[in-house]
Chain A
Amino acid sequence: MSKTCLFVGLLCFCFVASHFTEGQASGNCDSDLLKKASGLQDKDMPYKDRGSRCEGVYEKLVATSEPLSVRSFTARSQIANSLPPALQLIWTRTGLGPLTIRGFALKQRVYYEMDTRIPSDNRKFDWTTDVLTGISLAPGQVGVVASFVRDKENVVLPIAIVPASVTPPLAGECNQKTYQVTLWPERDFREVYFSIQGKTPGGPGAVVLPKKELGKGLYPAGRAISFCFSVPAGEDVYDLVISAEMTGGGGVPIVLPFLRAD
């Protein structure tokens, strides 16, 4: 009898444990990407559950879809010329609820994503770079976007990427007012503009940074578009408003709410 109880108990434990593990994996992983990585071999670093995050490469179905997307929105980056064994994503804002953090490759024909969800109160996420190194990404080819949900709306929290070996003091680390945004074009663009405006509960607030043209004249598909900006103190949430003109005509508008990093 006692053996039976022990066996049943063990079964229950195994079930609960496996269910918990699966729950974690599915929580971090994008099921669509899991499918797209299912045909890849381990040496290819496929997108899969890797404990604290889901990470890896997947196959890209080559129909065009989103012509322009935000692949990185950071407060600061301290990565040197080569990737350290681990990176730390850090932020100072807490009490925001769970943060969804996504990592992207800023390199043509590298279809890569890292997904994780962690409480914002953690204020840091340790990111082992074995996969990034395995797919030969350079530090400048990694983009990160962290977001949380506020009033049913995704709001970006600009976070900083630093080497884990040089643990910086967290307080005030992200106080710098310069933000860096990286866009990824799937089509050719003629010009890209951005502006920043305050965000109030009633709608858009005052323009804090007027519309600015990046001014390069041509932004070919598959080549990252980066720009930096600062915002004056005052507001807590802003809208980053991006408008881009495609070379063949037509435009792409993006409005992205973000929280001050400090």
Chain B
Amino acid sequence: MPVVRDFCMRIRKHSHECLVLTVRWSLVFLYISLSLTALAQGDRLPVDLDYAFSAAKPLIVMIAAQGDELRNGAGVIVGSDVDRVYVVTASHVVWSGDTPISSITLYLQGIGGTTTSVDAHVVQAAHAPTYNADGSRGLDLAVLWFDRRVAPFPVNSLPFGILGDRKQLRAREKLYPVGFPNGQKKWSLSPIADHYDSSSGFLLLFNTNSVTGGYSGGPLFNSKFQLVGIISSDTSASSDAIAMDDILRSLTQWHIPTQLVSGEGVIIIGDEDRPRFPLADATASISIWLLNGTNPFANAAAATPELNTFTVDLRNAVQAFSRNNPSYSNQRPRELYYFTYTNQNGIVVPDVVTIYTDSPYWPDYGRYPAVHLASRLQGSKFNFYLNPINPQNFDPQHPGADLTFAVGINWVKYGALDRQLQSEAANGRLELEYSVSRNTLEQFAWMLRAPMPGWQTNGSISSLLDLRGAQLIVSTVVGNLGGRNDVKSDFDAIREHSRLNYIALSMGKGSLKLTPENTTEYRDRDGNSYFVYQFPKTSREFLKVLQ
């Protein structure tokens, strides 16, 4: 444990609060400032597959076509005009031979993850049959439209920039088919497919075990989660999709307006790599807080009462939740929130954020509809840093910080704290109760896990932020009660639960340990130490660090 020792000694040296070699940080407060670096810098960061999928979901619709029989498939929104929104799908989903099916319902994902059904109609002139008259394979393409006024989202803000290039596909490249297996109204991202084969004209062949009824018309994404095809059929040997370039060519011929444009894509952390919910050893959660236009250090004295603790033992609470919700898993229901912010150039930028709706910690989430948060965010003026944040932004005298992501500001109210401590005494556990503000964005949460009492803490990052060039600030505000000495003894009790020796972050298979060697120490105006870790500015360097 030399690293721990060094780190502890460093804290001891500057804060005079580490009394023994095995430091107990009675209060740890992580503070993140993120800069959204310019996306044009080159290749993209690793992101969670769920995030990439969530971002693309609004483009993906489920189709129920009721002819002689009910057919279910999927479709992809490709564009719109003044009155209509256009969707492409496989012909065999909505055409019965040479006849279009007249009763078609689309299920769209609206703001907040709600599902809305709308009536749709076939564009009769835009149709390529599944099989040509000579029996050969046709393009199997159809176009639907629905009334733009009933769209449950602002159409122009849909993520149309996801188009990929089939020429860039590599053999054995990971592909991601999306559909509605067995006609269930549930978006499904299949396990990874591969064995891509480009030798079949307009068909992209890929190998998967999961494409089944309900995938027709669904999108096929490449390894960067760029749209490369529309799924059509399956055989024992392979599944196939119609290549997007052939589809776009037909759409142009048919004068269907398309807004799909090439997207940069993302590097995906495999689903299997995603940090799992630490059910067995859930000990603490650190949440990131959006501080609107506030530099928390600028008013540190006032802020510290609310910035004092975040560490609670959630094991019992989580286990109880798990008992009551046996189906709970990491595949958790979530809502996709759209919001805009104004960047420092005055440009309004749309963005999305996901909020889990079944948090065992904060069940209040479910009561706050997406629109509420979206409007709150839209009503605020968030100016993200476009360049790496300079530590001087955290200088209380420096007015430049106009948006801060703060980590670890779980809002423990002292009244509630008293009750928690009483609860702990009575039940042998410390419960969070009503201590976290409702607007916490768990999407940005970091999960700290303490598998043993000695707190060798592992942290796993479950956020999907663009961390290139960002700075992670670890601040140890030891024993800062903000003048509330009346609760000091209770506070000390809390400190017993919050000993932290070092912080390890994991992203997918990679991990990153914060040590004195790779952090720089600064002080806030109260003399408390905080340590800054500078994330690499490029994906390549970033990936190296994670290895």
Contacts and interface: CB of A to CB of B under 8 A. Distances in A.
Interface of A: 34-36, 38-40, 44, 57-67, 108-111, 135, 186-188, 221-222, 248
A35 B212 CA distance: 20
B237 A44 contact: yes
A221 B240 CA distance: 21
B484 to A, nearest CB: 53
Interface stretch (B68-76, B364-372, B386-394): B68-76
A111 B239 CA distance: 12
Given A35-B131, A40-B235, A221-B182, A62 B216 contact: yes
A61 B131 CA distance: 11
A223 B500 CA distance: 51
Contacts of B234: 59-60, 62, 109, 111
Contacts of B92: 61, 63
A186 to B, nearest CB: 5
User: Max chain A CB contacts within 10 Å: which of B140, B217, B235?
Assistant: B235
Contacts of A59: 233-235, 240
Nearest to A105: B236
A36 B214 CA distance: 18
B527 interface: no
Contacts of B137: 38-39
B90 interface: yes
Contact of B185 (A35, A44, A248): A248
Contact of B236 (A63, A67, A111): A111
28 contacts: A35-B135, A39-B136, A57-B235, A57-B236, A58-B235, A61-B90, A61-B130, A61-B233, A62-B179, A62-B213, A62-B216, A62-B231, A62-B234, A62-B239, A63-B214, A63-B216, A63-B217, A64-B71, A64-B72, A64-B183, A64-B214, A66-B69, A109-B209, A109-B235, A187-B184, A188-B182, A221-B181, A248-B184
B104 to A, nearest CB: 12
B209 to A, nearest CB: 7
B212 A221 contact: yes
A65 B73 CA distance: 10
Interface in B149-192: 179, 181-185
Contact of A44 (B215, B235, B240): B235
Nearest to A136: B236
A187 B92 CA distance: 19
A61 B136 CA distance: 14
A40 B235 CA distance: 9
User: Max chain A CB contacts within 10 Å: which of B137, B140, B213, B237?
Assistant: B213
Interface of B: 65, 69-73, 90, 92-93, 130-131, 135-137, 140, 179, 181-185, 209, 211-217, 231-237, 239-240
B182 A60 contact: no
Given A109-B209, A186-B213, A64 B236 contact: no
A61 B233 CA distance: 4
Given A38-B136, A111-B234, A221-B213, A65 B182 contact: no
Nearest to A34: B135
A39 B232 CA distance: 14
B182 A109 contact: no
Given A34-B135, A60-B234, A62-B211, 12 more contacts: A39-B136, A59-B233, A59-B240, A61-B216, A62-B233, A63-B73, A63-B90, A108-B212, A186-B212, A187-B183, A221-B181, A248-B185
A135 B182 contact: no
Nearest to B235: A59
Contacts of A36: 131, 233
User: Max chain B CB contacts within 10 Å: which of A38, A63, A221?
Assistant: A63
A104 to B, nearest CB: 14
Contacts of A34: 135
Given A38-B137, A221-B182, A222-B212, A61 B236 contact: no
Contact of B182 (A35, A40, A186): A186
Contacts of A67: 183
Nearest to B180: A64
A109 B73 contact: no
Contacts of A109: 209, 212, 234-236
A63 B93 contact: yes
A145 to B, nearest CB: 19
Nearest to B73: A63
A66 B237 CA distance: 23
A222 B214 CA distance: 13
Contact of A63 (B72, B136, B185, B237): B72
User: Max chain B CB contacts within 10 Å: which of A34, A36, A110?
Assistant: A36
B177 to A, nearest CB: 9
A141 to B, nearest CB: 12
Contacts of A66: 69
B233 A64 contact: no
Contacts of A111: 234-236
Contacts of B181: 221
Contacts of B182: 64, 186-188, 221
